[in-house]
């Protein structure tokens, strides 16, 4: 059993003990949370609540991302370029790229 933490619930004065793995559900705003069972053919059915929250239908492609011991299912972006645009903003100091390019010549 993982580490346990004491977390305040929404009701004043009430608290409950939860596992560190369950803490994620209290920190992340969830659109849907449902369970799925892996079949003998290694297939799962995405629960209706999750499909509706993602806005996906039969034939849509999904991304399955494994992060440590967790799996995240995301709707496949229509354009990867648009999906990752701006991720590097603020990573480098303001004139870093300009100075780097000038050092090449």
Domain 31-77, CATH class in plain words: mainly beta
* Helix H or strand E segment including 50: helix 48-54
| Structure tokens, 3 | 């580490």
Return d(Cα 80, Cα 33) in angstroms, integer.
26
Q: Tell me the whole-structure pTM to 2 decimals.
A: 0.47
Give yes or no for a contact between 13 and 21, defined as CB atoms under 8 angstroms apart: no
Residues 6+ apart with CB under 8 A from 1: 19
Res 27: pLDDT: 53
Taking alpha carbons only, the member of 17, 21, 16 closest to residue 2 is 21
Domain boundaries, the chain: 1-30, 31-77
42-90 pLDDT, tens digit each: 998 988 988 888 888 899 988 888 988 888 888 888 888 887 888 778 8
Q: Within 13 A of 87's CA, how many CA atoms are on the CB side?
A: 6
């Amino acid at each position: 059993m993982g580490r346990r933490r004491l977390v305040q619930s929404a009701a004043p004065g009430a608290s409950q003990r939860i596992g560190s793995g369950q803490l994620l559900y209290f920190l992340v705003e969830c659109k849907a949370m449902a369970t799925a069972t892996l079949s003998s053919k290694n297939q799962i059915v995405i629960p209706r609540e999750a499909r509706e929250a993602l806005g996906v239908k039969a034939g849509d492609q999904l991304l399955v991302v494994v992060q440590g011991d967790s799996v995240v299912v995301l709707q496949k972006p229509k354009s990867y370029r648009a999906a990752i645009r701006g991720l590097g903003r603020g990573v480098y100091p303001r004139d870093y790229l300009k100075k780097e390019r000038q050092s090449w010549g």
